Structure 1
Amino acid sequence: MTKRIFGKAYVVGDNIDTDQIIPAQYLMYVPTVPEELEKLGSHALCGLPESLYPLRFVEAGKTKTEYPIIIAGKNFGCGSSREHAPIALAAAGCRVVIAKSYARIFFRNCIATGVLFPYEIGERFPEKIEIGQELVVDLETETLLVADQVYPLKPLGDAKEVIEAGGIFNYAKKTGMIPVSS
């Protein structure tokens, strides 16, 4: 497993809800079908208001983002409890979201699906980072590297193992909680 995630940041503010992450009209895509998962990802964050976010997370006509890291304010992932939200972000190529705080259901869905690392950071970062700025997230030390500054992330604890295993069911199989049939 990669211990560091390098890449450009996409920056959003507070209270980004699941309808903004993946609008309801795209929930007909089935994430277990590869072609549909790709289509789902191509619509990630398309519900953000263009007046506030003129630069799209996934460029029109593309299926992948150039931003593997999202920097957010407080209450990221609020709204409905749609599991499609972290799945859509990951399908687009996002690997980690760093926010001041999360809606608990979004945080749990990240862990249950094992597709994104949802780190919390002790201070507000959206005003400190520009869209497209290169960042490094060190998964081993659970830190964010910005230029020559290192910022601690709130450790994920046991949830990190679940994400690294690929979600709750893979973790349960890996640890013997669910028998693996041969």
Structure 2
Amino acid sequence: MKIIGKAHVYGDNIDTDRIIPGKYTKTLDMQSLAEHVLEDLDPEFSKKVQQGDIVVAGENFGCGSSREQAPLALKTAGVSLIIAKSFARIFFRNAINIGLPIIEVKDYNIQLEDTVEVDLITGKVEVNGNTYFGTKMPDVMVDILNENGLVNYLSKHKQYNL
């Protein structure tokens, strides 16, 4: 599973309140969430993000509350992948569950608007002629992502009786 996109680069400890402020989480309108994604961190993000873009961050991305709206807002806004040095575990799982690819890469040099190519199966990240290696995605998680989320994956595998 390969993903290519333009980088939007941020720092450490980006919590779910900065990804999607709590005042916007009382809606089921995903487009409304996307319009406000990252607005406290980067007020212009929702206007400049393009379908297929990649968010790149430092340590502990998605810390804070366990709100599923955070990865949903990013995905609905067009983000195709998140690269971070580490993720809060609940954000990591929520992202996979809704079909938003993520990868942990401990060491990288990625700048704003760099074009990044990632192979989730091998963990290989290429940017500006440099190659980095991230955590290889387990096969079952790749399968979940290929089905666009856990509900679709489980629905396809009838033994789960959904």
Q: Same fold by TM (over 0.5)? A: yes
Computed over aligned residues only, the root mean square deviation of the Cα atoms, in angstroms, reads 1.8
Question: Per the alignment, in what secondary structure is the counterpart of residue 169 of structure 1?
Answer: helix
What is the CA-CA distance between 1:140 and the residue it aligns to? 4.2
Point out where structure 2 has 5 or more consecutive residues left out of the alignment: none
- How far apart are the structure 2 equivalents of 1:96 and 1:150? 17
Name the amino acid aligned to 1:47.
D
Q: How does 1:99-110 map to 2 (within 5 A)?
A: 99-110=84-95
Describe the superposition over 1:135-158 as per-residue Cα deviations: whole angstroms up to 9, x where unpaired: 112234331110212211201102
- How far apart are the structure 1 equivalents of 2:126 and 2:17? 30
- How far apart are the structure 1 equivalents of 2:69 and 2:125? 26
Higher helix share: 2
Describe the superposition over 1:112-135 as per-residue Cα deviations: whole angstroms up to 9, x where unpaired: 112x11100132x3xx22211111
User: 1:58 corresponds to which residue?
Assistant: 46
Q: 1:132 aligns with which of 98, 108, 113?
A: 113
Q: 1:22 aligns with which of 20, 23, 46?
A: 20
User: 1:33 corresponds to which residue?
Assistant: none
What is the CA-CA distance between 1:91 and the residue it aligns to? 0.4
Question: Per the alignment, in what secondary structure is the counterpart of residue 46 of structure 2?
Answer: coil
Q: Tell me the TM-score normalised to structure 2 length.
A: 0.90
Identity %: 41
Q: Are residue 77 (structure 1) and residue 62 (structure 2) matched?
A: yes
The aligned length equals 160
The answer on whether the counterparts of 2:66 and 2:91 sit within 8 Å (CA) in structure 1 is: yes
Q: Tell me the TM-score normalised to structure 1 length.
A: 0.81
User: 1:96 corresponds to which residue?
Assistant: 81
Q: Are residue 176 (structure 1) and residue 155 (structure 2) matched?
A: no
The answer on whether the counterparts of 2:120 and 2:142 sit within 8 Å (CA) in structure 1 is: no
What is the CA-CA distance between 1:170 and the residue it aligns to? 1.3
- How far apart are the structure 2 equivalents of 1:131 and 1:29? 31
